[in-house]
Structure 1
Amino acid sequence: MIYFQIFFSFLIFIAANIYVGKKGWLLINTVIPKISIYLYWAMFIFIALSFITARISKDKVPHFFEKFLNILGGYWLSAFLYFIILLGVIDIVKLILGIKRFSFIGAKVLQKIYLVSNVGAIIIVAVLLIYGTYNATNIKTTKYALKINKDAGQLKKLNIVMLSDLHLGDIVDKQRLSKMVIKINELNADIVILAGDIVDDYIEPFIDQDMGIEFQKIHSKYGVFAVFGNHEYYGGSIDKIAYEYENSAGFNLLRDKTVKIEDSFYIVGREDLSYERYSKTKRKKMDELLKDTDKLLPIIVIDHQPVNFSEGETAGVDLQFSGHTHNGQLLPANIVTKRLFENDFGLLTKGNYNVVVSSGVGTWGPPIRIGTSSEIVQVELEFK
């Protein structure tokens, strides 16, 4: 079934690219009549398939060329999304204006309107890509003030800083990470939480750029606690990633593990759901992770994907941190994420159970954000 879905999705992707490609050819052929149709389609196919080619050719082509394909493909995916929307709207309007009641417009005038509209679509997409690139690198801090009606020993307040979906690699590189670390330290965190997808599939850029040293510059009272996301599993080197996280970066890596801190509160880190697919083993249930905990103390859970909230609510979890959704990353994709997840972004409170879902601080695929923000989350937690 899954292979049929992949095949069907690929056919839709090809068909949609052909639609955009034909529109592009009609416009270019009008402006530059002598251009070769073969040259045009060769360039278009190269660009349209560049992201897929980059994934398939991993370690088979020079690294600089792979990076080029990833960046080119990422930008094309964004442009492609907005071309489909804009060109679709233009065609609908053209169809409406082409019916008899609008015949007074005239075919030549209609053709000019159509030409100007298509040029306008290109300008709009170009502006969106420029804005989206800037927006993706402009990190914001999202603050929440929450109260947990539990005793935490001598601890009355806890300043938590959380990041998710960094997707560190060739695109979100060490320079971007350095800016993140500076912003983290400005917030004077008691504890720093990394809620998965720290690297983008592969650990090699993390090692090559010595990113672990940057993480060691983070200042926090109780340290940095991290879990895996789905992308850690995609690269196929999970043990190597775990080693780098714990030894190079100094993370407290929690893989279905519960830690009691200062006899005041618990941090629970869950394996990502992808663990079940790749290891053929079920991750531990929430009740199992909490069986030896003192439920009178605050319980904070880190779970990359914001799913199965009823499990945490029933088990007595007070606060959960998740990411994964990127809040759609590119408008209007957030319409899809809102339908897929009970809470795809922000704070959800259900009785004593609170869930904070971050839109992420990095990007996947297109190094672009439109209609969403790259964020670091700060939660000022107050206890009874």
Structure 2
Amino acid sequence: MVRALIFLSIILLYGLLNYWIGMRLWQLAGKFIPHVTASLYWLVFWLVVLSFLAGRLCERYVNYKIGQPLILLGSYWMAAMVYLAIILGLLELVRLADKRLTFLPRGAYEQFPTAPLIGFSVLIIVIVIIGYGWWNARIPHIIHYDINIPKQAGSIKQLHVVAVSDLHLGNTVHNKRLQGLVEMVNGLNPDIILLPGDIVDEDPMPFIEQNMGHTLRKLAPRYGIYAVPGNHEYIGGRWVEIINGLEKAGVNVLQDEVIKVADSFYVVGRDDLYSRYYTNNKRSDLQTIVQGIDKALPVIAIDHQPVNLSEPEEQGVDLQISGHTHRGQFFPFNIVTARIFEIDRGYLRKENLQVIVSTGFGTWGPPVRIGSQSEILDIVINFNSPAGKSPS
């Protein structure tokens, strides 16, 4: 019942916001386009606005290939909606100020030529912003860190880790982009690869039909590939298929598990914090997971969401790698993630715990990044070295 009320509230707010945007765009631009009637304008407008929801329904109940273009269209609209709301909101403030101060020409927001000049300028600005965001989202950056863990790891003095979070393989991040990622990661020649969740974006069908598992099998680090589920593996309700597909591709998916690698260090993989909402099973506490391990050896944890960082700090984790935040993916949501998370991107040290949070490789929803970037983490860990060296 609570979830249904939240969902209906979101749909209502989404509809009201879009109605306001639609009204302003009609007043400023739509009614000045030749041969475009109000009925035609609103028909096209609502088809675009509702395309994401329609695509999701088609994906679930009809065929994902039919839903895919609708989801893509709706995803772009969601990003455009945000910037239209911001710009039109600012214009609304100017209009209200003009009512008191009368500094604009009379009828500037209603009459030709000033109204369409304003309206089409707004549309062009938003198109440019979204175009930049699309381009920026498709250029991955290799982010390098040198860190020290003051423990011995058997005969291993240095470990080269590549971590890639939030691939979101599916409707917007296709096999071609995965192939490019695999080439970049293999070019770094890592000893071990870590995937901190949201690898497959809800629906496993694009992953299966595009044979992305075959592409992942081209990764062959010395000590293997380890992953944890993120919230998006669970959201679509088909996490079993997703995890099986990843395992078949040579990815070791850890769900509240510990594995000792090369008899030298531990990788701790935590189930996603939100898994309880979909599986009715609460994830184990970290103390239970690491009970009995030899903490004289290095302990590396992968946890999709960088939350409750006091827990790994207290349980002797040396390094935690997370994702999830996307650093908001596009402005102004980076302001939100900066307030929600203790760290939403980059490096943090808490006593003996070191935390690295990635903005992720792929995107969810709008395939745009503004104020964030696509990342591949390239981490060199030196063992048995003096603590306190800052990451480069």
| TM-score with structure 1 setting the length | 0.95
Within 5 A, what are the aligned runs for 1:206-221?
A: 206-221=207-222
Change (3 A) 1:294 1:272: same
Kept in 1, the 8 Å contact 2:141–2:376? The answer is yes
Counterpart residue type for residue 107 of structure 1: R
- Rounded to whole Å, the distance in 2 between the matches of 1:194 and 1:309 is 19
Counterpart residue type for residue 299 of structure 2: I
- Rounded to whole Å, the distance in 1 between the matches of 2:66 and 2:368 is 20
Counterpart residue type for residue 106 of structure 2: A
- Rounded to whole Å, the distance in 2 between the matches of 1:233 and 1:221 is 29
Query: Is the partner of 1:57 in helix, strand or coil?
Result: helix
Number of the residue aligned with 1:9: 10
Number of the residue aligned with 2:237: 236
- Of residues 253-262 and 174-183 in structure 1, the stretch that sits farther from structure 2 once superposed is 253-262
Kept in 2, the 8 Å contact 1:188–1:219? The answer is no
Counterpart residue type for residue 250 of structure 1: G
Kept in 2, the 8 Å contact 1:156–1:383? The answer is yes
Displacement after TM superposition at 1:115 (Å)? 3.9
Query: Is the partner of 1:7 in helix, strand or coil?
Result: helix
Within 5 A, what are the aligned runs for 1:133-144?
A: 133-144=134-145
Number of the residue aligned with 1:345: 345
Identity of aligned residues (%): 42
Kept in 1, the 8 Å contact 2:64–2:205? The answer is no
Number of the residue aligned with 1:329: 329
Change (3 A) 1:40 1:30: closer
| Unaligned segments of structure 2, at least 5 residues | 385-392
The CA RMSD measured in Å over matched residues stands at 1.6
Displacement after TM superposition at 1:107 (Å)? 0.5
Kept in 1, the 8 Å contact 2:75–2:366? The answer is yes
Number of the residue aligned with 2:304: 304
2:69 is aligned with 1:68: yes
Kept in 2, the 8 Å contact 1:164–1:323? The answer is yes
Counterpart residue type for residue 52 of structure 1: L
Kept in 2, the 8 Å contact 1:303–1:321? The answer is yes
Kept in 2, the 8 Å contact 1:161–1:184? The answer is yes
- Rounded to whole Å, the distance in 1 between the matches of 2:259 and 2:31 is 66
- Rounded to whole Å, the distance in 1 between the matches of 2:98 and 2:277 is 52
- Rounded to whole Å, the distance in 2 between the matches of 1:193 and 1:63 is 29
Displacement after TM superposition at 1:317 (Å)? 0.4
2:130 is aligned with 1:119: no
- Rounded to whole Å, the distance in 2 between the matches of 1:221 and 1:67 is 37
- Rounded to whole Å, the distance in 2 between the matches of 1:184 and 1:13 is 39
Displacement after TM superposition at 1:29 (Å)? 4.1
Within 5 A, what are the aligned runs for 1:1-384?
A: 1-32=2-33, 34-99=35-100, 101-102=101-102, 105-108=104-107, 113-247=114-248, 249-384=249-384
Kept in 2, the 8 Å contact 1:90–1:114? The answer is no
Kept in 1, the 8 Å contact 2:28–2:115? The answer is no
| Unaligned segments of structure 1, at least 5 residues | none
Displacement after TM superposition at 1:5 (Å)? 2.7
- Rounded to whole Å, the distance in 2 between the matches of 1:316 and 1:129 is 43
Kept in 2, the 8 Å contact 1:94–1:114? The answer is no
Change (3 A) 1:29 1:368: closer
Displacement after TM superposition at 1:170 (Å)? 2.5
Kept in 2, the 8 Å contact 1:90–1:117? The answer is no
Q: Deviations over 1:192-220 (max 9, x none)?
A: 00111111101111111111111111131
Counterpart residue type for residue 215 of structure 2: E
- Of residues 352-361 and 229-238 in structure 1, the stretch that sits farther from structure 2 once superposed is 229-238
| TM-score with structure 2 setting the length | 0.93
Displacement after TM superposition at 1:238 (Å)? 2.0
Displacement after TM superposition at 1:113 (Å)? 4.8
Displacement after TM superposition at 1:62 (Å)? 4.6
Displacement after TM superposition at 1:28 (Å)? 3.4
- Rounded to whole Å, the distance in 2 between the matches of 1:133 and 1:282 is 37
- Rounded to whole Å, the distance in 2 between the matches of 1:165 and 1:128 is 23
- Rounded to whole Å, the distance in 1 between the matches of 2:60 and 2:196 is 28
Change (3 A) 1:29 1:136: closer
Counterpart residue type for residue 253 of structure 1: V
Kept in 2, the 8 Å contact 1:226–1:269? The answer is yes
